[in-house]
Chains A and B, each alone.
Chain A
Amino acid sequence: MRILLFIPLIFIIAVSLGCSKDSTPSQNSPSSNQITIATSDDPLSLDPRLVRDLATATVMRMLFEGLMRTNSKGILEPACAQEVAISEDQTIFTFILRPCMWSDGTAVTAEDFAETWKSALKPDFPAPNAYQFYLIKGAKDAKEGRAPPDQIGIKAESPNTLVVELEQPAPYFLELVACHFYFPVNRTMRLSNEPITGNIIGNGPFKYENWQHRHEFSVVKNPDYWDAKSIQIDKIILQVLEEHTALQLFKIGQIDWTGSPLNTLPQDAIEILKEQNILKVAPGAGTHWFRFNTERLPFTNQKMRQAFSLALDRHAIVEHVTQGNQSPATGILPPSLEIDNQQYYEDHDLGKANMLFSEALDELGFSRDQMTPITLHYTANDRSHKIAQAVQQQWNTLSNVPITLESGESKVTYDRLNRKDYQICLGSWYADILDPINFLEIFKDKDNPTNQTSWQNETYARLLDQSSKETNPQKRLQLFNAAERILIEEMPIAPLFYASFNYLKKESLENVYFSPLGYLDFKEAYWQPHAMEK
C-alpha cells in the first residue's frame, strides 16, 4: 500500500536531517581553560535591570561589572570604580571611575551608571528591582511619578565621577552597589526599544559569544576588560541540563560543575555523594522557616507558636532529610552574616514544647479534642515533600495534634500567602545583601509583601529604625541582636535550618567564588594544571 511506503521514506528523511545537524559535544579538559557548567534554564534576560533570579545573576556577573565587587576572599573592593569617598554623615558617596571599556570599544562613563540607574527608576520601566534604589534621595518619588528624574540624588559630575546622595545613612549601601541591579547598561542598549537579546555590549570579565536557546549559552574572555590579565579562563559554557542527566555527565567528566547555584543536585543522590566525598558545600545567606499566620487560630497565641517551634527536631531533618550539611536554625540570621549566633532555645525540647502547648490551649480556651486539623501548606518539590512529611510526624508529638499536609503548585501557594489564607506555610528567605537588616526588615511592617504573617511589633520596628541611623557597627549589631530576640520570643516564624548550597565541581578547578548570596564569580578562577583528574 502506497501509504505504508511513505513511512520508511519519512524515516529516511528524518535520519538525513538528523545527520546534517551533527555537532560535536564541547571538549573540555584542564588544558583548554574552559569551564562547562550545568544550568537548569536559559538566562531569563540579558538586561541587568530586569534580572531577578539567582542563576541569571551569575550570568550578569560574567557580562557586566559594577562599581564594586566582592572578590574571591569575600571582601568588597572597588571594581569599575577606582576609589570611593564617603562623607562624614555617610550619606554622600563619590565614586571615581577607573578607565574601563565597553566591549564595543567605547569608554564606560559615570553617565552610563547614572543614566542606567535613572532609567530603572522611570515610572514606566518594568524594573522589578527598582525598590533596591529607594535608599537614594528622590528615587522612590521619581519611580512613583511624584518627582522628576533630575531630583534623584545621582549625578555624573564628570565622565569619571559619580556622586550619589542617600536619604539617610546606610552602611550597607556599598554592598548594594555590588549587586547586579546596580550594573551599568551601555548607551546603545539603553536607547534601543528592542528587547536585549544576543550580541550584547558589556563591560565585564567575559563577553557574550553564542546562545542556542535552552541548549547552550557561552561567553569568552573579554580582552578589553580593564583587568583582563587576571582572567585565566578563556571560555565558559552553560548547558541546559536536567539535574540527573547533569550528575551523570559530571561523573563521566563532560561537565565541570553541577548543582547550585545554576542547577540542583538530585535529593536522593546527596547522601551517596557525601559518602563518596565529592559533595561540596558552600554556606548560604538564607534561612528556611515556617511562617505562622498570627491572625488565624490557633496561631494567634504566642505560646502555641513557640510550642510548634520547640517541637521540631531540626537535627533529624538536617541529617536525614535535607542531608546537605545545612545547620539547624533556632534564630533567623544565618551564620554567613558573620554575627554571633545566639542559641535562643533548645532544638527539639519536647518537654517545654508540650508544656507551652497545654498553656496555649488554656489561654485560647479550648481543649485538644476541640481542635480542628491544622494545615501545613508548602510548594510542591522533592525536598519540601519530605520535610513536610517528617515535620508532620514531629508535630504529632504535641498530644497528637492533627496536621494535614497540603502541597500546592508554586503560584497557587504564593497567592495563598499573599492573601494570608493559611495556617502554617513552609518558606525561606535568601538575602540580597550580606547585612542583617535584609532579614529583619521583612517583619518590620505587617504589610510588607514578604512578611505575610500579619505580625509586627513597635519595639522591633523602632530598633530597626535606630539601626538605620546608627553609624557605629558595634552598636548597630547590638540593636540587631535585640531585635532578633524580640522576633524569636514572639515567633511569627519558626526557623528550620540555614541554607547551604550543594554542588559538585572538578577538583582542579580553583578559586571560583561562591557568594553566600548565591552567585558565582569566575574572574579569579583557574585550572590547577598539575592535579590529575581521575
Chain B
Amino acid sequence: MTLYLASKNPGALSSSKKNWTKFKSHPLAYASIVFLLLLGFCALFIPILSPYTYYDINLSIKNQPPSLQHWFGTDDLGRDLFTRTWNGARISLFVGIAAAAIDLVLGMLWGGIAALAGGKVDEMMMRLADILSAIPSLLMIIALMVVIGPGLHTIIIALSLFGWITMARVVRGQLLQIKHNGYVIAAKALGASFWRILFKHLLPNSLGPIIVTLTLTIPSAIFTEAFLSYLGLGVQAPIASWGTMASEGLPAMEYYPWRLFFPSGLICLTMLAFNTIGDSLSNMFDS
C-alpha cells in the first residue's frame, strides 16, 4: 500500500494520517462505507434468516405488490422478492467485484507496460487488444460455455476476457500523456527500473481515470451477466442476480413496477456508494 502513496510531488510523501482524516471528514464517503457494509451484511445473512427461500414457488400469490408478508412483493412465480433480492446481491456483488478486480489488474498491467515501453511493444500490445475486441464476443462466450460448462466461474472468465480492454486503453492513454513529465524523466535519469517507474510513479498518478473506469466496469459486468443469463449462458435458474431480476422485471414494469424497482434501485445505490468511495480515495492521493 505504501507504493500508492506517491503523489504529484514525488519525494514528499504525505502522511497517511493526514489523508485518512481528510477521507473521514467527507461525510458521504463515510456513509458509503457504512452502506456497503450493511449491504454485505444483508447479502450474507438475510437469505439465511428469512422465513422464505429464494426458490420456493407459490403460484397462487404471484405478482403481489409489497406488503407486510412480502416486503418487496412477489415475482411472477410467487417467490418472495426480498429474499431473492438479497440472494441476488451475493451473485451480483461477487460477479461485479471479481470482474472489476481482474479488469483492474490486467488492464493496469497491459496498459501500463504498453505505454511505458512505447514503440513496437506498444503497437503490438494495442493491436492485440484491438484483435480481441474485434472477435465477436458472443461467439467466444458460447464457445467458453460449451467447453467449460455453465456456471458462475464461466461468467467471470467470460466477463474478464473482454472487460480489461477498456481499462488498458484508458490507462495507456493517461500514461502516454504523463510519461513525459519532469519527474518521470528525472527518475529515469536516476536509473530507476522499468517496474519501479511504472508502479511508483506512473500508475499512482493515474488513479483518477482508473477509478472512474472501474466504476464503469462493475455495473457493466452485472448487466452483461444478466444478458448472458437471458440467452442461457449464465447462472442457472432459479438463482438470479440483480441484473437478471432487473431484466425480468423490465417487461412487467407497467403492471408490476416493484419487480424492476428494487433490483435496479439497489444497483444504483451500490454504484453511488462505490463511486463516492472511489472519489474520496482519488482525492486522498491527489493532493
Contact = CB atoms under 8 A, between A and B. Distances in A.
A389 B77 contact: yes
Given A320-B62, A386-B76, A407-B236, A380 B230 contact: yes
Interface string A433-469: 0000000000000000000000000000000000000
B237 A412 contact: no
A383 to B, nearest CB: 11
Given A380-B230, A380-B232, A404-B236, A409 B77 contact: no
A407 B232 contact: yes
B233 A393 contact: no
Interface stretch (B39-47, B117-125, B142-150): B142-150
A272 B255 contact: yes
Contacts of B142: 409, 412
Interface in B177-213: none
A388 B256 CA distance: 22
A247 to B, nearest CB: 10
Given A408-B232, A412-B146, A392 B238 contact: yes
A321 B59 contact: yes
B255 A407 contact: no
A388 B232 contact: no
B147 to A, nearest CB: 11
Contacts of B256: 268
A56 interface: no
Interface of B: 55-57, 59-60, 62-63, 76-78, 142, 145-146, 150, 230-233, 236-238, 251-252, 255-256
Nearest to A243: B251
A409 B233 CA distance: 7
B59 A409 contact: no
The SS class assigned to the B binding surface is: loop
Nearest to A375: B236
Given A321-B77, A389-B238, A390-B59, A244 B251 contact: yes
A107 to B, nearest CB: 49
Contact of A268 (B59, B60, B230, B252): B252
Contacts of A407: 232, 236-237
B231 A385 contact: no
A242 to B, nearest CB: 10
Nearest to B142: A409
Given A380-B230, A390-B59, A393-B55, 4 more contacts: A320-B60, A380-B233, A405-B236, A405-B237
B231 A266 contact: no
Contacts of B251: 244, 266-269, 382
A380 B232 CA distance: 5
B232 A379 contact: yes
A379 B237 CA distance: 12
A349 interface: no
A252 B77 CA distance: 30
A316 interface: yes
A390 B57 contact: yes
Given A268-B255, A404-B236, A316 B146 contact: no
Contact of A389 (B232, B237, B252): B237
Contacts of A388: 237
